[in-house]
Amino acid sequence: MSGENRKHARVKFEHKRPVNLMGADGTWQRSASLLDVSETGARLAIEGSTDVLRAREFFLILSSTGLAFRRCELIWIDGADVGVRFIADKGKKKTQSSQTQTAG
């Protein structure tokens, strides 16, 4: 997969960054390594079967406590490597003016 047409720069890690994937409904979990990341997506190496990713949406858990996470959509699979796009939380995109208007 070529990165020439990417809109956002990717950060590639020299060492494996352990992360976990969890189904949006919480019924499955997989260990993975974060290979590279950008503002809009990431490339991961999955440990174990990728069959659970057929659900297409899941959480990328970035911290051991689960407090840092991103909701993801599966874009591609190549063996154990997968590409994901981060799904924006539409509820957090309020402007300052709309917050002020609803507060009054």
Under 8 Å between Cβ of 52 and 28: yes
Closest CA to 40 of 4, 68, 71: 71
- Kindly indicate the confidence band of residue 96, based on its pLDDT and cuts at 50, 70 and 90: very low
Domain with 28 in it: 11-88
Q: Is residue 19 part of a domain?
A: yes
Asked if the structure places residue 37 within a domain, the reply is yes
| pLDDT for the residue numbered 92 | 54
Tell me if 4 is assigned to some domain.
Answer: no
Domain-located, residue 6: no
Terminal C-alpha separation, the chain: 50
CA-closest candidate to residue 53, choices 30, 86, 85, 26 = 30
| Position 52 in a domain | yes
Number of domains in the chain: 1
Structural domain contains residue 26: yes
Task: Please tell me the least confidently modeled range out of 2-16, 33-47, 80-94.
Answer: 2-16
For the whole prediction, is pTM greater than 0.85? no
Report residue 12's pLDDT band, with 50, 70 and 90 as the boundaries: confident
Which residue, 15, 13, 32, is CA-closest to 72? 32
| 99: alpha, beta or left? (left if phi > 0; alpha if psi -120 to 50) | alpha
Q: CATH code at 56?
A: 2.40.10.220
Inside any domain, residue 5? no
Residue 82 domain flag: yes
Quick one: CA dihedral 19, 30, 93, 39, positive or negative? positive
